[in-house]
Structure 1
Amino acid sequence: MTVLPDDGFSLAAEFPHATHEQWQHLVAGVLRKSGREVSAETAEDALSTALEDGLRARPLYTARDAAPPTGLPGFAPFVRGGRAEGQTAGGWDVRQPHSVPDSAAVLSDLENGVTSLWLSVGEHTGFPVSALPAALDGVYLDLAPIVLQAGAESAAAAAQLLRLHDEAGTAPAAARGNLGGDPLGHEARTGSAYDATPLYELAGRCAADRPGLRAMTVDALPYHEAGASTAQELGCSLATGVAYLRALTSSGLTVQQALAQLEFRYAASADQFLTIAKFRAARRLWGRVAEACGAARHGAQLQHAVTSPVMMTRRDPWVNMLRGTVATLAAGVGGADAVTVLPFDQELGLTDAFARRIARNTSTILIEESHLARVIDPAGGSWYVERLTDELARAAWDFFQEIERAGGQAAALRSGMVRERLAENWAARSRNLAKRREPVTGVSEFPFLGEKPVVREPAPPAPSGGLPRVRRDEAFEALRARSDAHLAATGARPRVFLAALGPAASHTARLTFAANLFQAGGIEPVTEGDFGASGTRTVCLCSSDEVYAQEAESVARQLRAAGAQQVFLAGRPGTYAGVDTYVFAGCDAADVLSATLDRMGVSR
């Protein structure tokens, strides 16, 4: 070890060491000046942010926020990565999805940065199994890993792919990818089960003859898309993985062979740090399962990250590019082995070549230009990330154990337990979305009513019959759809007149707030001219509390006399005569806007 000479200079040597308690005391003093009565002991809680699963993000993390040892990359408990060398020299596997048998699009992707293909096959999933040869026409199967998702037709699709490998003369060791067997994931999506015995037999063949090909996928997306919290998504994946381990070992595979037949698929969201912690926690949890099975050294989890469908919006879809970028960065930092960036127009129908290009280039920029894959576990050592990883892993393990006590994943699905628990979480999250505590840019915050719609050809209907599919934008999307229908029927959107009281310094902040809120419901704000010429009978007063105290009631009376039928006030609820409704930060915006459209005669 090199010992640096003592040059007599030490940073901050003249300052006393600051303690955590001193920091808390200073924070409490600042909060009290802002009108919040807190003690030094509760000051930190006052600045904490509540997350799902009972977790909280605190404002300060220090060395005292210790987490269990994370080990080394490639070694149990695999928190820091499933491989000692980290991601391959070229970064993570860039995996592009395809649901139509378009070989030209497939080849274009492979020629421009995509390194593996994710094909949706089957009558209720994507294109017909019989079209698989056409979709892969011209693809070098020994170079491009193929991942299938075929639902109830998984065995037939797998057999077709294996025939294509044989016909192409692919060396057994060169065949890579996943045959996509996931009976529990299919049941979660559709409510119906299928016989997975042929897939377990194929897993045995893969283990014996094709070591680079896996037979089973543990897809957690059905739970994520049904409103699961992060811990619930992880818990369901563990329970599913354990169910497949039991089935595979019962069919004759060793525990080591069975572990090597599974690949896990998780959603990556724009919540950057929670996503990083998710992938790190998932590896730790699966490593614990492998340890319990007596195969701790073989517990490295192969992870496929997919940018969250739940976060994708139909309004202002261009913003989805930004969401996808943050989610991809988080998945890469979290150590995912493969990443699928869903095209920004995913929720509008069949994606086009431009959207697919942007999606694949998102990974390319992060790998090639940002050099994100050159560092193993770049978030490792962060007190916040390590603590969040630990807390999330514990919450997920608790939910996994709850599922196991209910009889396992299949029993928990069929009894309705999983559905009920996920619905409870989504109901709580929906309240935050409605109140804009979880803002959706371009939808509930900063909407653009004059945007030109992005139109795509309709996509095949998604499988249904099982768990519901939810979207963050659904409440506000319904309001915007009502406004669009009103515009088509009458030639104008519903309007609200924003009455600014007092000088600009008094009304600007709340006028901006009110304009933003009403546009989230498809209601066009009118700020110029006078109320009589606004073409509406709905008005919102906008100013400071001081101005309201002097003018709100008299202005409300004047507006009523001029024909106003509904008077809002932008500010905390008060007792101003003539005011019907108050809009403020934290109000149930979705409910207020829906009721307003009802009063305006805008049909549902």
Structure 2
Amino acid sequence: MTVLPDDGLSLAAEFPAATHAQWQRLVAGVLSRSGKDVPETEAEDALSTALEDGLRARPLYAAADGVPDAGFPGFAPFVRSGRAEGNTAGGWDVRQRHTVADPEAVLTDLENGVTSLWVAVGDWGVPVDALDRVLRDVYLDLAPVVLDAGHETAAAAEELLALYARRGVAAGAARGNLGADPLGTEARTGSAYDGDGYPVAVGLARRCAETYPGLRALTVDALPYHEAGGSAAQELGCSLATGVAYLRALTDAGLSVERALGQLEFRYAATADQFLTVAKLRAARRLWARVAEACGAPAAGAQLQHAVTSPVMMTARDPWVNMLRTTVATLAAGVGGADSVTVHPFDHALGLPDSFSRRIARNTSSILIEESHLSRVIDPAGGSWYVETLTDELAGAAWEFFQRIEGLGGQAAALRSGRLGQDLAETWEARSGKLAKRREPVTGVSEFPHLAEKPVVREPAPAEPTGGLPRVRRDEAYEALRARSDAHLAATGSRPRVYLAALGPAAAHTARLTFAANLFQAGGVEPVTEGSFEDSGATEVCLCSSDALYEEQAESEVAALRAAGARHVFLAGRPGSYPGVDSYVFAGCDAVAVLSATLDRMGAS
């Protein structure tokens, strides 16, 4: 039997430790061979990726970067978790949203892995007087209920509390959240339902604090700011400003800081950018702990978090891909330590989910908890130098944005002045530019679209609230283009077409032909690659080949295509001075602008 030495097996013991400077020197050498001559000290910056909020993802992180101590789970600053046990006691709370009066769907969810209910009530959901029927088969002492009632919060809360009484649920057994969120509702609708000092929310908080210890009264919903195109730091900053506004109102009404903190639950978006989502949830807990510390109650600063898979990332085209997006987002929410997670069904952007999509949504959490054992470890990303650094930098950017809002007079003032909406719009405009240029790809929409896809049809969902901040989606510009193509197909029997003229052998043209076909399909323009231009039924053509063959053949090929009736000639490649070429398509071009102009010329209105 081999006995290992006491100090274990040191595989690198005989090698000198590598230094950061050595790594930079090697990177600079590789960049130099690729045609990018940069000084060794700038090599790292050359490989960095720009993120929103002025952040950058670097190619290398090390212990020397130095970040604030994350502490221990369940203790301030709560970065690692708001509870000492994290989600190890059975996983996170699987919370599914219901917007229609369908008690069978509610019961099916609860019987198959869902552990709490998020019910939209009022104008954009279940009628208040139908709440009893929707929850008829629910054991209210076992399944927490979270309301989202907007302007009808007072009536919905009274109905739920009365329902507890009628069902004989002990006050101490009621759990969930009454969903009072005056500022969130104002952000969505443009109008307030609660007066100065938020008397409705404060009144409900008093009742919960005095009578229902397991029930919270207020939700700090950051989704309106995320759905308006806000960045992660803006979403966090708005949540802090909203939470602080509610704390002021509650303490002014006589609640202690500790009891006021215990009446709030925070809701954030989880996106398919998994590391940013993990960092956002961790940063949110750090920031709220700082607020609690400033208020004199550091031990009560554990933030209760509800993560919701982002509606912004959901697509109407190729909706099946949304299953992958929500899986990554749910994983990130779990790793980030969310207490509750809602997975939107893959057909969320199309209307009401069917039984299959609801099943897939709830099973997403079940697989990650039960089969992937994601909840067995508290804060599994903790200790990663990248995640710790990103958490710290994001927290700094969010705190700065929060201070800007406070400088404007607080969340309500920032909303009503229009300044907050302007900030969010500027962020979305910058992101829209990346989407248009496909720097931020959307699989199934701007990349690898499928024109022959059979449409997925769903019943219309209740109308979303309007009048406040806008709602955006990553696919909206391409969806508008595809809708024009669909209308052209319905009117003429065929889609707009473009002929792809491949020059030379496959090795010369395949890459650019594939690129061009992908780009044109993103706008609903059907690429034709077989046969001749004359037989294609197209009026526009795109040359696809290598730069060398363009120099030899492009001019003559363009002349021949013009003679055959081509009205517009594209060339797949960087802009040059080829005679007869009207425009160029290349990586980084404004695909939305190119495709919109193409559809205009083809008469697809």
TM class, shorter-length: over 0.9
Among 448, 464, 470, which residue is 2:450 paired with? 448
Q: Which residue of 1 aligns with 2:598?
A: 596
Q: What CA distance in whole angstroms lies between the structure 2 residues aligned with 1:416 and 1:188?
A: 11
Q: Which residue of 2 aligns with 1:179?
A: 178
Aligned partners of 2:88 and 2:377 also within 8 Å = no
Aligned partners of 2:144 and 2:174 also within 8 Å = yes
Q: What CA distance in whole angstroms lies between the structure 1 residues aligned with 2:186 and 2:135?
A: 28
Q: Which residue of 2 aligns with 1:401?
A: 403
Closer, same or farther in 2 for the Cα pair 1:230/1:7, shift >3 Å?
closer
The amino acid of 1:531's aligned partner reads: F
Match of 1:522, SS state, is coil
Q: Which residue of 1 aligns with 2:384?
A: 382
Q: Which residue of 1 aligns with 2:435?
A: 433
Q: What CA distance in whole angstroms lies between the structure 2 residues aligned with 1:372 and 1:586?
A: 38
Q: What CA distance in whole angstroms lies between the structure 2 residues aligned with 1:359 and 1:473?
A: 21
Q: What CA distance in whole angstroms lies between the structure 1 residues aligned with 2:565 and 2:19?
A: 62
Q: Where do residues 91-170 of structure 1 align in structure 2 (5 Å cutoff)?
A: 91-123=91-123, 125-170=124-169
Q: Percent identity?
A: 77
Q: Which residue of 2 aligns with 1:566?
A: 568
Deviations 1:472-496 (A, max 9, x none): 0000000000000000000000011
Q: Unmatched 5+ residue regions in structure 1?
A: none
Size of the alignment, in residue pairs?
A: 599
Match of 2:391, SS state, is helix
Q: Which residue of 1 aligns with 2:86?
A: 86
Match of 1:266, SS state, is strand
Aligned partners of 1:121 and 1:148 also within 8 Å = yes
The amino acid of 1:422's aligned partner reads: L
Aligned partners of 2:88 and 2:378 also within 8 Å = no
1:169 deviates by 1.1
1:43 deviates by 1.1
Establish whether residue 51 from structure 1 lines up as the match of residue 20 from structure 2: no
1:9 deviates by 5.7
The amino acid of 1:519's aligned partner reads: Q
Deviations 1:231-253 (A, max 9, x none): 00000000000000001111111
The worse-fitting range, judged by mean Cα deviation, of 205-214 and 468-477 is 205-214
Match of 2:593, SS state, is helix
1:353 deviates by 0.9
Establish whether residue 190 from structure 1 lines up as the match of residue 189 from structure 2: yes
Q: Where do residues 113-512 of structure 1 align in structure 2 (5 Å cutoff)?
A: 113-123=113-123, 125-195=124-194, 196-512=198-514
1:88 deviates by 4.8
Q: What CA distance in whole angstroms lies between the structure 1 residues aligned with 2:509 and 2:257?
A: 68
The amino acid of 2:54's aligned partner reads: G
Q: What CA distance in whole angstroms lies between the structure 2 residues aligned with 1:430 and 1:304?
A: 27
1:194 deviates by 1.0
Establish whether residue 581 from structure 1 lines up as the match of residue 580 from structure 2: no
Deviations 1:494-541 (A, max 9, x none): 011001111110100000000000000000000011111000110000
1:171 deviates by 1.5
1:42 deviates by 1.2
Q: What CA distance in whole angstroms lies between the structure 2 residues aligned with 1:10 and 1:314?
A: 53
Closer, same or farther in 2 for the Cα pair 1:7/1:173, shift >3 Å?
closer
The amino acid of 1:71's aligned partner reads: G
1:13 deviates by 2.8
Aligned partners of 1:93 and 1:338 also within 8 Å = yes
The amino acid of 1:114's aligned partner reads: V
Q: What CA distance in whole angstroms lies between the structure 1 residues aligned with 2:568 and 2:36?
A: 34
The worse-fitting range, judged by mean Cα deviation, of 482-491 and 247-256 is 247-256
Closer, same or farther in 2 for the Cα pair 1:9/1:408, shift >3 Å?
closer
The amino acid of 2:22's aligned partner reads: Q
Aligned partners of 1:201 and 1:251 also within 8 Å = no
1:173 deviates by 1.5
Closer, same or farther in 2 for the Cα pair 1:410/1:556, shift >3 Å?
same
Establish whether residue 17 from structure 1 lines up as the match of residue 23 from structure 2: no
Match of 1:577, SS state, is coil
Establish whether residue 76 from structure 1 lines up as the match of residue 76 from structure 2: yes
Q: What CA distance in whole angstroms lies between the structure 2 residues aligned with 1:387 and 1:297?
A: 24
The amino acid of 2:118's aligned partner reads: W
Match of 2:146, SS state, is strand
Aligned partners of 2:147 and 2:177 also within 8 Å = yes
Aligned partners of 2:75 and 2:83 also within 8 Å = yes
The amino acid of 1:150's aligned partner reads: A
Let me know the Cα RMSD of the aligned residues: 1.0
Q: What CA distance in whole angstroms lies between the structure 2 residues aligned with 1:60 and 1:70?
A: 20
